[in-house]
Amino acid sequence: MTSDDIVTVSATETSLRIVEGIHDLQGAGISELARHLDLPKSTVHNHVRTLYDAEYLVTNDGDYDLGLRFLEFGDYVRKYHQFIQIGSSEAEKLAEQTGERVNLTVEEHGRGVYVFKANGSEAVHMDTYAGKRVPLHATAFGKAILSQCPATFVDDIIDRHGLPSLTSQTITDADELHAQLEMIDEQGYAVDQEERLEGVSCVAAPIVVEGEVRSAISVSGPKSRIQGDALGTELPDLVTNAAEVVRINITYADQNTFDTSW
C-alpha cells in the first residue's frame, strides 16, 4: 500500500477521489466534498477548479456535478466493447423468455463489472447498474468467467482481492472455488444461490471469444424462482443458448475495428 505507490502521482489520486466523491454524493459543494473525503477545503477547491476549468465538471446552483465529458468517454468505452452492442439484443430476448433480469458482464481488473441490463416482465429490482463492480467469486457470471481462465489467473485474482464473504453462502475457500470452476467448465454454465445477495440466485454462461474481453450473460431472480426444475434444464439451456448465439455473432461480426463516428 505504502511501499509500491512510489511511482504514482498523488495529486491525480486526489482528483480521482474528488470525482468519485461527486459521483457518490450525486453532486456536492466544496465544503460537503471536503468533509466527505476528509481533505482541506482549499485542496478540494483547487482540484475542483481544475476539473471545472477543464470542463469535466458543471455547476448546478452551487453544487458541482460530473459533466458531459464523462458521457463522451462512457460512450467511447461502450463502443470499445462490441460485445455490448452485439449482446444487448440477445439479452433482451432472454429477459423476455425468462421474465427475469438479464445482465451482460465483463471482467476488468480482476473484478466483475455489469455493463448492460435487460428486465423481463417479472424482473425484480436489483442493486446492479452499468459500471457496478463486484467480486467474481461471489456471482454466477463471475464464476462462469473464471471457469474459462487459467488457474494461475484465478489465483492472481485471489491474491489481489481475496475471497471476501458477502453472504453465508459465498465461497471463501480457494480449493472449493477451483473445484466448482472445473465443474462449471464441464457443464457450461454457473449457478449462484444467494452467494452475493440474500434471496437472489443467478444462472450464467461464459462468452469467450479470442481477443475479446472475458464476458458472460446471466439471469438473476428471487431464489424462489431460480431453483428446482428451472435449474434442472430450463434456465441453463436458455442461458447457454443465448451465450452461444452471442459468441457466434461476435466471432463472425465484421472484423473492422470499431469506429467512433456514426
Partner DNA sequence: GTTGGTGTTCGGTTCCATCGAACATCTGTT
Partner DNA sequence: AACAGATGTTCGATGGAACCGAACACCAAC
Length of the chain: 262
CB of 175 to a copy of itself, least distance (A): 28
1 sits near a copy of itself (criterion: CB under 8 A): no
Q: In the complex, which residues of this chain contact DNA (CB under 7 A)?
A: 7-11, 14, 29-32, 35, 39-43, 45-49, 62-63
253 sits near a copy of itself (criterion: CB under 8 A): no
Determine the Cα–Cα distance for residues 52 and 124; give it in Å rounded to an integer. Answer: 38
Dihedral sign of CA atoms 180, 186, 187, 189 in order = positive
What's the first-to-final CA gap in the chain, in angstroms? 43
- In the structure grid, which three cell numbers stand for residue 99, read together? 421474465
- The candidate with the shortest Cα–Cα distance to 204, out of 153, 240, 155, 167, is 240
Identify residue 223 by its one-letter amino acid code: K
| Binding range to a copy of itself, per CB under 8 A, among 90-98, 105-113, 148-156, 201-209 | 105-113
Determine the Cα–Cα distance for residues 193 and 142; give it in Å rounded to an integer. Answer: 13
Contact 49, 38 (CB under 8 A): no
Among 82, 91, 98, 117, binds a copy of itself (CB under 8 A): 117
2 sits near a copy of itself (criterion: CB under 8 A): no
| Binding range to a copy of itself, per CB under 8 A, among 50-58, 135-143, 163-171, 235-243 | 50-58
Which residues are at the interface with a copy of itself (CB under 8 A)? 5, 7-9, 11-16, 19, 23, 26, 45-47, 49-51, 53-56, 58, 65-78, 80, 106, 108-109, 113, 115, 117, 119, 125-133, 257, 260-262
